[in-house]
Amino acid sequence: MTVIAYKNGLIAADSMVGSNNHFAGNVGKIARNSAGDLIGTSGLTSWCAAMVQWFAKNERGKMPFLSRGNQDHAPASAIIVRQNSPGFVYVVECDTQLPPFRIMIDPKCGIAIGNGREVARGAMFAGADAITAVKAAIYLEDGCGGDIHAFRFKGGPIILHQAKGYER
């Protein structure tokens, strides 16, 4: 249960983790590596944490993988945006050993993953940036919440504590 939104060099995410439809805590779901590339993860918490760690270590070693035979996991995916090609996103699925596949981003809509993706994409289509799109998903989707974390290709991390009016 999450929302990750990317548009025009800015990636943002909620930080809520849930268990059985209950709030279980906050985690970081996005990262930037030393090359300035960005990642956002959605789905099974253990896989997402492993992906963020792998990415932050400049993608050293094998990419985390979950076997299709493991029926106990929720779907999980990640988006990777390379600083040298910000108009494209690489999509990673947790249960395949295939390399990430590349898709072109519509600059007006950006891209979003997670259960709040439709709200986030609609907000970005209407002109919102990625942070505002995540705020909209937090407000409208039960599975999204917590603080908002964001990164640009350069500069420090952005952490927004949810302002009154965005939480239900």
Computed over every residue of the chain, the mean pLDDT equals: 84
The C-alpha angle with vertex 160 and arms to 158 and 163, in degrees rounded to 5, equals: 160
Rounded to 10 degrees, the C-alpha dihedral 91/96/97/98 comes to -50
pLDDT at 165: 43
How many C-beta atoms surround the C-beta of residue 47 within 10 A? 23
* Of 161 and 35, more confident: 35
Q: Looking at residues 93-117, what average pLDDT do you find?
A: 81
Helices (H) and strands (E) in the chain, counts: 3, 12
Strand 30-32 relative to strand 38-42: parallel, antiparallel, unpaired?
antiparallel
* DSSP-derived 3-state class of residue 42: strand
